Chains A and B, each alone.
Chain A
């Protein structure tokens, strides 16, 4: 645990200091007109402080739902979840989450700066402090100079970076990213992946990252959670130990390919269940 992480931790910490997310035997069932849908079943998962965890799996495997349960946007129907040792709801009210969605979800009527200060406004932080933090966050995603622009004046990649800055601005414990680069083209995506990695190395944030790209998952993560649909469940958890300052070049190394292979095997095993 680095000094930075300790300093950032404002909320009082419970007994096990290193565990941010602790999920045990958690299930989520949706009641629909066609009968119940088992979105998540028997999920066990721990995320430690400073981890970069990727959730990967085919669509319908519940990876987004899992992220939403962690963020208290959905309620689990069974099992236990603790975030920082408290319930997801308590954690949400303590402002523990920086959520980045598939789309930038910037408010079109606010300038980039005012979009980034939005959470700070809600958390009733003083004006000068807001501007200062927005400035810092925008610098982290290399968007300084665009403070006064409106969202529509930025490209898709820049908009998504702005939304990441927004998630960073209030120093949330846990950065939750739901396919943040899914809608972008591959070149922009590679670039943003590298930037995100640098950001993670610098801030030592805990990140939960949903994707359906194997190279992206392997490249970014310290821990890869492979999931499978119907019912949504975890079938494999792979720990990697690439250097924190890795670059895109490692995608050619045998170690990288080996991990990617294992992920692919896991996904295939999950699929065979299906048909």
Chain B
């Protein structure tokens, strides 16, 4: 290198932490989130104001601006609850309530999560098996694949209430019917992703296996399966997210007994907006966590396969 040695240290230290954060994603994302909170508060004030003014007018009560703002942020059944109200509700139902209680959000989350995971497990297995069949049997590909693809365009979730009610009529209740909906939703993205993944090896790689006279199964385990891993994990992220949606929607028609979906429905019946928002945020948190967990698995597996992150 002909670079002047004296200039190097200065270049190495680089910009400060603040600048680096703002140049990367962390800073902007934080700013966005803070902005979101601000908008939420402002929205809460303005959306709850008409109701509050109405109340003041009926009570013929005088009010100042600061009183009005405070009142709008602390209504019982606000049009839009303020973030701190939702946070308080979540704290109350998650930490301050016994887990076994029907009022505990942890209990409801577990009900939803268990059927989500069960459905996800079965759906993934089914999806992979179907993909293996489609990749290896031409007739299966030609006859089944068009249906798998076009089934993506069908609003499958519409079937959810029927599955619940019909299975309930023959005595199947609770976990299994909900898990079936999740299974059904999961297995399409997994199948499509895996068919793509199992087909992803290059022609030359497949030709190489042929020159070794490798059997179908040897080719499968040495080449097709490892090359499909990135595709599998991409589909798994979609599948686990949609699996949760399936479980939540599956809880809607059961007369609101347990689960996050039931909390949403009960909240909407009784106008408990704070409860709806708490359930919604919990669901969002659970979804994000599950995707993160799948992402961690992905990282481990791909690292072991020598893929650089």
Contact = CB atoms under 8 A, between A and B. Distances in A.
B3 A35 contact: yes
B11 A31 contact: yes
B14 interface: yes
A81 to B, nearest CB: 24
Contact of B11 (A36, A38, A230, A231): A36
Contacts of A33: 11, 14
Nearest to B2: A230
B8 interface: yes
A231 B1 CA distance: 9
Interface residues of A, number: 9
A37 B1 CA distance: 10
B7 A35 contact: yes
Contacts of B3: 35-38
B30 to A, nearest CB: 24
Query: Chain B: interface residue count, which band?
Result: under 10
B95 to A, nearest CB: 45
A271 to B, nearest CB: 14
A35 B11 contact: yes
Interface in B1-45: 1-4, 7-8, 11-12, 14
Contacts, number: 19
A38 B14 contact: no
Nearest to B5: A35
Nearest to A230: B2
A259 to B, nearest CB: 30
Nearest to B4: A36
Contacts of B2: 38, 230-231
Nearest to B12: A35
B6 to A, nearest CB: 10
A36 B7 CA distance: 8
A37 B2 CA distance: 9
Contacts of B7: 35-36
Interface of A: 31, 33-38, 230-231
Interface of B: 1-4, 7-8, 11-12, 14
Identify the 5 closest CB pairs spanning chains A and B, nearest first.
Answer: A35-B11, A35-B8, A35-B3, A230-B2, A36-B7
Given A35-B12, A36-B4, A230-B1, 16 more contacts: A31-B11, A33-B11, A33-B14, A34-B11, A35-B3, A35-B7, A35-B8, A35-B11, A36-B3, A36-B7, A36-B11, A37-B3, A38-B2, A38-B3, A230-B2, A231-B2
19 contacts: A31-B11, A33-B11, A33-B14, A34-B11, A35-B3, A35-B7, A35-B8, A35-B11, A35-B12, A36-B3, A36-B4, A36-B7, A36-B11, A37-B3, A38-B2, A38-B3, A230-B1, A230-B2, A231-B2
